[in-house]
Amino acid sequence: MSEFVVASDLAIEYRTPRGAVRALDGADLRVAAGASMGLVGESGSGKTTLGMAMGRLLPSNARRVAGSLSVGSQSLFDLDDDGVASLRRRQLGFVFQNPMSALNPTARIGKQIGWALERKANQREIHERLQQVGLRDVPRVAHAYPHELSGGMAQRVVIAMAIARRPRLLVADEPTASLDASVRGQILELIKSLQREIGATLILLSHELSMVARTCDVVGVMYGGRVVEAGPASIVFNAPLHPYTQALLKAAPGAERPGERLTAIPGMPPVLIAASVGCSFAARCHLADETCRRTRPEVRHLPDRQVACHHIEAASPRGGAGALDPS
């Protein structure tokens, strides 16, 4: 399968009054066309920066330090403004965390759907778009202002706007974080089914492992601005290799037996101000040694996944997994 999104060694920093903060520190990511990839990580792991970079939607104080990022076959950081505008218009759709701030409070829903479509749309087309995202009582919704909708309905509208031009890449940044637990599942289902329907590649940014496990075929785990482990969701979640992925899974509720305690990861995620010298997880990792603190682990491409760790043999949950020769 061809790869639709390729990030290689991407480093991005934000210039702040108190110095630069490195949000991405050499992120490597490959997403196959048509796949659904979940990017998981704590706050500050760089997943939002990576997601927004895919539309070159980073704030003006962000600067690419190194590496490249391409969407489709276009290298994003080599495009001029017109190129970016046309890429966004033709290929990208974004679903944001808070649907209320993703809708213009001063315009009716129908009008905003019309703005999102490629060309002038008539009322019937607008109503079809709203039906497509599972909204009932479509004429009333089309005539309403955003504040008159519930969070779940508003998020459906945002999704309708994101897929209005049949994008080839759909980036959803914590699309259910601000919604009621009862509608989260429905919204995820909707995103997934629409993604399949239009044949788009989906990037789902989330800190909820269970959500990613249910929704995505592929998963990328981010830590300290790098993708530390990525591969098919079933493999990464069932047999995690990177110590961070393992710790994350132990800390996540869902699969524990009755009476079993969840294990929190000690320490805090790092705030990088420059490229990290060693492995950024070393300070919190039970396997860390001098090598981890001195040299950056390179991304190793195994047959079934990629992982960036010096100790994947020792970390292997299955003991000595013989097939996992470092390349």
Partner 1 sequence: MDAGRNSILSQCSKAMRADPLMAIAAGVLALLLCVGVLGPLLPIGDPTAIGIGPRLAPPSPAFPLGSDELGRSFLPRVVGGILVTFQVAATAVLLTGALGAVIGLIAAYYRGRVDTIVARLADALFAFPAIILGLMTASILGPGDLSVIVVIVAATLPLFIRVVRSVALSIASREFVTAAEVAGASPVRIMAMHMLPNLMGALIIQFTYALSLGMLIESGLSFLGLGTQPPYPSLGSLLQLGATYLAIAPWLVFAPGVTLALTILAINLLGDGLRHAIDPLPGRALK
Residues that bind partner 1 (CB under 8 A): 55, 57, 60, 85-86, 88-89, 92-94, 96-98, 101-107, 115-116, 143, 145, 158, 161-162, 164-165
Q: Which is nearer to partner 1, 96 or 281 (CB)?
A: 96
CA–CA distances in Å: residue 255 to residues 60, 84, 138:
42, 43, 40
Q: Which is nearer to partner 1, 86 or 295 (CB)?
A: 86
Structure tokens at 90: 């033709």
C-alpha to C-alpha distance for 265 and 248, rounded to whole angstroms: 7
CB of 220 to partner 1, least distance (A): 22
Q: Which is nearer to partner 1, 119 or 261 (CB)?
A: 119
Phi then psi for 169, rounded to 5 degrees? -130, 125
CB of 312 to partner 1, least distance (A): 38
Q: Nearest-CA neighbor of 99 among 36, 47, 147, 41?
A: 147
DSSP 148-181: GS-HHHHHHHHHHHHTTT--SEEEEESTTTTS-H
Q: Which is nearer to partner 1, 11 or 103 (CB)?
A: 103
Burial label, 320 (beta-carbon count in 10 A; 0-12, 13-18, 19+): exposed
Q: Which is nearer to partner 1, 64 or 296 (CB)?
A: 64
CB of 38 to partner 1, least distance (A): 21
CB of 58 to partner 1, least distance (A): 11
Q: Which is nearer to partner 1, 123 or 291 (CB)?
A: 123
Q: For every residue of 93-151, which 3-state class applies, written as one string?
A: EEECCCCCCCCCCCCCHHHHHHHHCCCCCCHHHHHHHHHHCCCCCHHHHHHCCHHHCCH
CB of 187 to partner 1, least distance (A): 16
CB 84 within 8 Å of CB 56: yes
Block residue for tokens 């929704």:
215
Alpha carbon 139 to chain centroid distance? 33
CB 72 within 8 Å of CB 31: no
Q: Which is nearer to partner 1, 121 or 309 (CB)?
A: 121
CB of 189 to partner 1, least distance (A): 22
Q: Nearest-CA neighbor of 208 among 234, 176, 186, 163?
A: 176
Q: Which is nearer to partner 1, 88 or 310 (CB)?
A: 88
CB of 49 to partner 1, least distance (A): 14
CB of 26 to partner 1, least distance (A): 26
